[in-house]
Structure 1
Amino acid sequence: MKKIILLAAVTLIGGAAIAQSTSTTKFGLKVGVSLPKYHFTNTDGDDYETEANTNFNVTGYADLPIASGFSIQPGISLQGKGSKTTGSAFGVNGESKDNSLYVEIPVNLVGKVPLGVTGASLYLGAGPYAAFAVSGERKFTVESGGSSSESTSDLKFGNDDNDDFKSGDFGVNILGGIQLDSGFNFGANYGIGLSDIRPGDNNDNGKITNRVLSFNVGYAF
């Protein structure tokens, strides 16, 4: 947690310093819907993924120009992650949903191309992120014979064998969208987790990483 806070502080201080050196620096806020899932790689090298759950994201960011058409966008995000798994057997249908909340620090390099429409630009970007889980819940739903039952439990984050997932996450973001002259923007982001979130000494059983597709609307000023 201390490393995440330190990274956030460095990001903000660096952003403020650059902001003072250019009059075109902008700050913005994005909100949207996230569709997270888990990506599994087993010991044989086979890949498979869970179904996507529905969550949310909120991101505050700075747009810091570094060259014509290019900028650095550091930010701080509340990112919903998790997964959904469904199955059935012997007339019983089951569903498991993980909902986790992460504090995420993205730093993206973004390129912008004018679209020929007054003030509108296409933007594309990519960059690394570091994240730290702050809470999580797992919900089970079972349906059988026309009736259903639900149960919930808190997810445990840490690096012990009895924890559910590691608390830290690291990966890269790929993003793109449309920026309007009015300040509004519309975009999509795909977060690719690179670090194994399986805790303890379970790495011999494979690897689990986060995948998050998100859509957002924002405003830069």
Structure 2
Amino acid sequence: MKKIVLLAAGFLMGGAAFAQTTTTPGTTKWGLKVGVNLPKYHVKNDNGDDPESESTVNFHVTGYADVPLSNYFYVQPGLSLQGKGGKVSSEALNTKVEYNTMELGVPINFVCKMPLGPMANLYLGAGPYVSFALSGERKFTAGNSETKEDLEFGSDSGDDLKRTDAGLNILAGVELGGGFNIGANYGLGLTDLRPKGDGDNGKLTNRVWSFSVGYSF
């Protein structure tokens, strides 16, 4: 865990340092966003059938720097605690399997801001992320019976999910007067989360809708 936190902090400081070397004169701001996540899993099978799990409900907390590259373009490296997962239900069997994971993510978003008036900006952006699973749980429900077990992370046969994920964020929102903002983000996971030996067909990836409120200063 300590190594993961140090690596994530290194990514964050590296992104901020890179942004500072490329930015035009302006004021770097710091911000915090919190909100709800609606995560699920996407499965891509070799037979062309691409099912998705049902969404679960989780949360996120993200700290970030807002570094100007020009009057309209900004780079936002951050450090984010992200709740992800998904669930599969069977009405016929009256069963449900739900996965919940908590991950430490490092997003680096490139954002364009356009004035909506004297007190508001519309922003649109995208950028890569990498995240590291900190903990996870699988809950199995059959009728009135419920069992829980911790997930095992790794890349070997017998593990449940890979620990490292990477993908792309697409975000949009509105900055309001006084430093407040509201926004939405779609996280498109690109890493196959299945460990080695866990079948040879298909690909399991994260999909996460996020909605947040934030403040920058």
Q: TM-score, normalised by structure 2?
A: 0.92
* Contact 2:33 2:212 (8 Å CA) reproduced: yes
Structure 1 partner of 2:158: 162
Asked if 1:112 is matched to 2:137, the reply is: no
**Deviating runs (4+, > 2 A) in structure 1?**
1-8, 19-23
1:2-28 per-residue CA deviation (whole Å, 9 max, x = no partner) reads: 577335314325526729984411000
Separation in 2, partners of 1:41, 1:13? 34
CA distance in 2, matches of 1:200, 1:4: 25
- What amino acid is the match of 2:160? D
Residue 140 (1) aligns with residue 136 (2): no
Query: Residue 63 of structure 1 aligns with which residue?
Result: 66
Render the CA deviation track for 1:141-167: whole Å, top value 9, x for unaligned: 222xxxx11110101100111001100
Shift of 1:67: 1.1
Assess if the C-alpha contact under 8 Å between 1:50 and 1:84 holds in 2.
yes
Give the letter aligned to residue 68 of structure 1.
N
Whole-angstrom distance in 2 between the partners of 1:96 and 1:14:
38
Give the secondary structure class of the aligned counterpart of 1:174. strand
Q: Deviations over 1:30-70 (max 9, x none)?
A: 00000000000012232110010000000000000001211
Residue 64 to residue 171, structure 1, CA distance change in 2 (3 Å): same
Partner SS, residue 16 of structure 2: helix
* Aligned twin of 1:204: 200
How far did 1:93 drift?
1.1
| Cα pair 2:170 2:186 within 8 Å, conserved | yes
Partner of 1:84: 87
Calculate percent identity across the aligned residue pairs: 55
CA contact under 8 A between 2:44 and 2:203: conserved in structure 1?
A: yes
In structure 2, the partner of 1:127 is 127
Residue 93 to residue 14, structure 1, CA distance change in 2 (3 Å): closer
Ranges in structure 1 where 5+ consecutive residues have no aligned partner? none
Deviations 1:85-113 (A, max 9, x none): 11122xx4111111100000000000001
Paired residues, what number?
Answer: 214
CA contact (8 A) 2:140 2:147 kept: yes
Aligned residue type for 1:50: S
Q: Distance in 2 between the 1:184 and 1:216 partners?
A: 11
Give the TM-score taking structure 1 as reference length. Answer: 0.90
Q: 2:73 & 2:31 partners in 1: Cα distance?
A: 16
Instruction: Out of 185-194 and 93-102, give the one that drifted further.
Output: 93-102
